[in-house]
Structure 1
Amino acid sequence: MPERRHAARRPARPSLRRRLLTFLLVPVLGVLVVDAVVGYFVALAYSNRVHDADLSDTALTLAEMIGSDALRGELTAQARFLLEYDPDGRNYYEVISDRHGRLIGNAELALPDSRPVDVDAAPRLYDTELGHKPLRGAVMRVANRHDDGDTLTIKVAESLRDRHQRAREILLLTLPMQALLIIAVLSLVWFGVSHGLGVLEPLTARLGRRGHDLGPIGEEDVPVEILPLTRTIDDLFARMRNMLGLQERFIADAAHQLRTPLAGIQLHVERVGNTADPAQQADAVAHIQRLAMRAARTSAQLLALTRTQSPDLPDHDGMAVIDLSQVVPEAVSMRVHQALALGVDLGYEGGETPCLVRGDALQVQEVIDNLVDNAFHYAGRGHTVTVSVSCEGDDAVLAVDDDGPGVEEAFLDQLGERFFRVPGVDEDGTGLGLAIVESIAERHAARVGFGRSALGGLRVELRLPQIAGT
């Protein structure tokens, strides 16, 4: 027989309607049960009050019958019938004389355990038992009209069956009406929840017509209860727009910046194929190598710039505490070999006092690399580049100075703009290094400044807020 394949059962999706109805209907049903229990005890209390009144009347009636005729050991058949008759249970009575003892009765009934019963007082009601059978009794004491000085104790009692039967009858009379009321309430709850959720339909239809629109949802037709949800979605849309904007800008920048080197590479590849002269081929290959390196550097810096602008990176308050006096020297030492190869005198200046800031060590490394690269490219062979760290007031200052040609004051304000390169500089560059520094500085709540260096060239400094107490 072919083997049967059972599809895995998917968990039921959460339903707002089912959740609301559960939270509303279950308590309502619980209220119905509690109401039935309370209703029964209320009916029982009412039944007890009525039967207690009848029991007191029975004791008074027996006292009247005793007072109208002297007792000679028993009652008439009619009187006994009236006292003992109970269609749902059994009635008991007993009359005891202080002087002559037990006169009449059909059971030996106990007296209440509380204070003594006063003569000629109203009947006292109490709970008692007869052979482990619970009874409700009434007792009273009256003077024996036929024997001066003698006192009679009259006790009557009845079973509790009739009381509980009457309570159940009252409950059964009221319960159907309460059940109908509960059913009506449940129906109204069901209708109210279903109708109330209908206010989401215009919003759902509007969102369905948006297509690829990532604009804010707005609040004109949004119920107050789901405003936090729509605002969270708006925040998500804003982050998505930012990410898509970064992606689109990266693609546009890459297309713009890589078009020239790629076109140059294609041109020199054609030169290699169209000439047999080794000197021209070598020159073309050198150009291809230089353009490929430029394209690679441009791609790397475009990625770095996009990465620094990503909203997923932690903000200033979420960064760790780092010591610039330790991070910066380590970063500079990693560039010494490159400086020697380029003929640049790279040095570091800084004290031993810690300069604690809140930041990202990797991004600080990115800042140093870009500033040092910028100095290497524009200062050139035979010049000096100095990286320094100092604490000035509330700021920690990271600076890079060189003794190169510097930048004219008219162009200082444009440094840090994407793709800006100082006119007249022959050295190829992407124009992205200082833009990356600006972007990282913004995330660190830092300020970037450009000016004339004491060495004669350009000075770029990054001022980061120190942590209080350092």
Structure 2
Amino acid sequence: MPAPALSWPRHWLAGDRRRSLRRRLLLFLLLPLMMLLVAGAAVTYLGALAYSNRIHDRNLVDSAMALAQLLNQRPAGEKLTAQARFLLEYDPDGRNYFSIRSMRHGITTGSDDLAPSDHPPQLDRGAVLYDTRFFDRKIRVAALVMPNRYEPSDLLTVSVAETLEDRRRRAREILLLAIPTQTVLILAMFALVWFGVNHGLRELQPLTERLARREHDLAPITDADVPEEVQPLTRTIDGLFGRLRSMLNLQERFIADAAHQLRTPLAGLRVHADRLQRPQTPEETADAIGQIQRLVERASRSTSQLLALTRAQSTQVHDLADQTIDLATLIPELVGLRVQEAIAAGIDLGYEGLSQPIWMHGSPTQLQELLDNLIDNGLRYAGRGSMVTVRLSQAAGEILLSVEDNGPGVPSAYLSQLGERFFRVPGGGGDGSGLGLAIAQRIAEYHGAALRYHSGSEGGLVVELRFPAHPAEPA
């Protein structure tokens, strides 16, 4: 029988894939707390060792002074008894040593191998403490100098030493007493952190519930109940909602504009299609087909204009101003592309500009769309036999681009309405869609250009754009 396959709870696996803010916060806080426990233990041990050293040093000095007092009280020539030596050397937690060194006679009593200090004590200056090694053991020594009462010209150095085991043992005992207390404190702090993190994350619950109740509402979510630390996130979401609202509004406007522009051509197509279904003379059939072709062309142009307007409305400034363009080279090329069309329409299309480079930031594709719409407006409404002139100049840190015709022009009462969507001057003729100048207006705005309309010197219309110039020619 095959062994059962191991299976893990799905929420465990999901938890491995997802990043939990609660888990990250707790880990970021738990690890420093554990390091704090270790550091606290080390500090506690060092502090306990320093305290133990201070106490033992004091006792060691007292023992040296007691031995010196004992030497002053013993009769002349009498040596230390065995019991006295035992008491001086006995230590239940380690080992004690002592020596009495005469300046004239050397070691008189005690351990011969107890090394003197590199800085020997002075008479009436108290005891000196120092560390040395006695065979393979590290010891602590307290030494003091006293006069030899039996030889006035001689000095005695009294030294008492002990091993360090007892000092370390006392420090470890203090550490073992402190660790449980520190552990309890750390656990209590961790429990408080756990509670604080969970309680703090619950502050997001009103925002979560408010978002869960929304369906199509894209209003800003930043409100008074949003914590200050979360507001950068909510402001970013509000910005995203704002861009989404703009896109939806743009979509709705496109649908409304398309319905507005295509309603008439589609209705006309239906009428002429019905005409073709009835018996017709060849002339009537040809007329219906011609009408259908014109309506199809109008619908196609309206669709192209709507798409161009949508692109102009949705393009961001940083998407447009990503190239350095020489307008003195670009504009003549774009005008040249429309010459054959102007000749076919019976219009004289010309260009006047400078020979030196004129630099600016912008999008060549969008600038071509802008200029095509301005030239198309002149070709469509100036009338056969008229002139359309494109001019380019630079002055006072600005670039001036203008398109002027000598056609019938636009009455001054309607100049302020030029550039509005679907606006056509009453009685102006032509079969335009009323979107060309609106497209030019949007592209000019995104390039930071000021666009205005005024009457020309010969009575036609002048469309003038002022672009900010590039500060310097690129390398």
SS in 2 for 1:309: helix
Partner residue, 1:42: 47
Partner residue, 1:208: 212
Partner residue, 2:446: 443
Report matched runs for 1:337-348 at 5 Å.
337-348=340-351
Say whether the 8 Å CA contact 2:99–2:111 is kept in structure 1: yes
SS in 1 for 2:114: coil
Q: Distance in 2 between matches of 1:98 and 1:249?
A: 112
Amino acid at match of 1:390: S
Q: Which moved more, 1:20-29 or 1:151-160?
A: 20-29
Give the drift of 1:313: 4.5
Give the drift of 1:304: 0.6
Give the drift of 1:5: 12
Q: Distance in 1 between matches of 2:419 and 2:102?
A: 120
1:28 equivalent to 2:33? Answer yes
1:113 equivalent to 2:91? Answer no
% identical aligned pairs: 53
Which one of 262, 267, 270 corresponds to residue 274 of structure 2?
A: 270
Say whether the 8 Å CA contact 1:308–1:436 is kept in structure 2: yes
Say whether the 8 Å CA contact 2:145–2:157 is kept in structure 1: yes
Alpha carbons of structure 1 residues 443 and 315: separation in structure 2 relative to 1, 3 Å: farther
1:90 equivalent to 2:95? Answer yes
Which one of 310, 314, 318 corresponds to residue 318 of structure 2?
A: 314
1:261-293 deviations in Å (ceiling 9; x for gaps): 111112212222223422222211111111111
1:422-462 deviations in Å (ceiling 9; x for gaps): 22233211010011111112112222222222343222222
Amino acid at match of 1:192: G
Say whether the 8 Å CA contact 1:94–1:104 is kept in structure 2: yes
1:246 equivalent to 2:250? Answer yes
Amino acid at match of 2:358: C
Q: Distance in 1 between matches of 2:63 and 2:459?
A: 124
Report matched runs for 1:180-191 at 5 Å.
180-191=184-195
Partner residue, 1:420: 423
Give the drift of 1:153: 2.0
Amino acid at match of 1:77: A
Q: Distance in 1 between matches of 2:69 and 2:7?
A: 86
Amino acid at match of 1:213: D
TM-score under structure 2 normalisation?
A: 0.92
Give the drift of 1:74: 4.7
Say whether the 8 Å CA contact 1:94–1:108 is kept in structure 2: no
1:62 equivalent to 2:67? Answer yes
Q: Distance in 1 between matches of 2:286 and 2:41?
A: 102
Amino acid at match of 1:436: I
Partner residue, 1:53: 58
1:200-234 deviations in Å (ceiling 9; x for gaps): 11111111112110011132111111111111111
Give the drift of 1:469: 7.0
Partner residue, 1:177: 181
Partner residue, 2:18: 13
1:390-433 deviations in Å (ceiling 9; x for gaps): 23444322111222222222222222111111222332110100
Q: Distance in 1 between matches of 2:131 and 2:169?
A: 18
Amino acid at match of 2:443: I
Q: Distance in 2 between matches of 1:83 and 1:96?
A: 16
Amino acid at match of 2:48: A
Amino acid at match of 1:112: S
Say whether the 8 Å CA contact 1:73–1:103 is kept in structure 2: no
Give the drift of 1:324: 2.4
1:97-122 deviations in Å (ceiling 9; x for gaps): 233332221452000012x3223442
Report matched runs for 1:58-457 at 5 Å.
58-70=63-75, 74-114=79-119, 116-310=120-314, 312-314=316-318, 318-457=321-460
Q: Which moved more, 1:84-93 or 1:14-23?
A: 14-23
Q: Distance in 1 between matches of 2:210 and 2:435?
A: 42
Q: Distance in 1 between matches of 2:424 and 2:20?
A: 59
In the alignment, structure 2 segments of 5+ residues that lack a partner are: none
Amino acid at match of 1:105: G
Q: Distance in 1 between matches of 2:7 and 2:182?
A: 47
Say whether the 8 Å CA contact 2:317–2:447 is kept in structure 1: no
Q: Which moved more, 1:35-44 or 1:334-343?
A: 334-343
Q: Distance in 2 between matches of 1:154 and 1:111?
A: 10
Q: Which moved more, 1:54-63 or 1:117-126?
A: 117-126
Say whether the 8 Å CA contact 1:401–1:453 is kept in structure 2: yes
Give the drift of 1:328: 1.1
SS in 2 for 1:346: strand
Amino acid at match of 2:146: V
Q: Distance in 1 between matches of 2:63 and 2:465?
A: 106
TM-score under structure 1 normalisation?
A: 0.93
1:127-171 deviations in Å (ceiling 9; x for gaps): 111113100011122222234433222222110000100111112
Alpha carbons of structure 1 residues 268 and 280: separation in structure 2 relative to 1, 3 Å: same
Say whether the 8 Å CA contact 1:345–1:382 is kept in structure 2: yes
Alpha carbons of structure 1 residues 145 and 420: separation in structure 2 relative to 1, 3 Å: same
1:220-260 deviations in Å (ceiling 9; x for gaps): 11111111111111111111111110000000110111011
Q: Which moved more, 1:142-151 or 1:8-17?
A: 8-17
Alpha carbons of structure 1 residues 464 and 313: separation in structure 2 relative to 1, 3 Å: closer
Give the drift of 1:182: 1.6
Say whether the 8 Å CA contact 2:316–2:446 is kept in structure 1: no
Give the drift of 1:79: 0.7
Q: Which moved more, 1:408-417 or 1:201-210?
A: 408-417
